[in-house]
Amino acid sequence: KTITVKCTPLTEMECPDSRRGRNDELELLVFESHSKELVKLDIPPIPIWFQALYNSFSIMPPRGLNFGPVKIGDQGTREFEIYNDGIFKFDWHLFDRSGAGEPQSASVGK
């Protein structure tokens, strides 16, 4: 039988040796459902593995984008790409920091 356990840590966790397929920071404890008492298991530790799910995005070209020199009063156009590397859809907004104009919005998903 498969039991699914969700882990939502409040701080960043590390998996010290992912090659061994286990994490010494996690421990499976079994409690009796009515009394809530810890059940002492006379078996070796049960290996636990986990998969981290998170949002991730990329901006191409990478950080440090240089549009080159532009004379005062001249306008120019350059292109860049924003795409979602993660498994979750998320919304993003482009805005003019000077306060002129409306924000441009879009959804990015897989």
Taking only the tens place, the pLDDT of each residue in 46-58 is 666 666 676 666 6
Burial per residue of 4-28, b for 16 or more beta-carbon CB atoms within 10 angstroms, e otherwise: eeeeeeeeeeebeeeeeebbeeeee
- Helix (H, G, I), strand (E, B), or coil: what is residue 56? coil
How far from chain centre, in Å, is Cα 18?
Answer: 18
| Numbers of helices and strands, H then E, in the chain | 0, 4
Handedness of CA 51, 55, 59, 60 (dihedral sign): positive
Q: How far is the first Cα of the chain from the last one, in angstroms, to the nearest whole number? A: 32
Model pLDDT, residue 8:
75
Q: Give the number of residues written for the chain.
A: 110
Task: State residue 19 phi and psi, 5-degree precision.
Answer: -65, -30
User: Does the pLDDT of residue 18 top 80, yes or no?
Assistant: no
Model pLDDT, residue 35:
95
Strands 57-60 and 90-94: unpaired
Among 7-16, 65-74, 100-109, whose mean pLDDT is lowest?
100-109
pLDDT-derived band at 37, boundaries 50, 70, 90: very high
Maximum average pLDDT range among 12-21, 72-81, 88-97? 72-81
User: Does the pLDDT of residue 22 top 60, yes or no?
Assistant: no
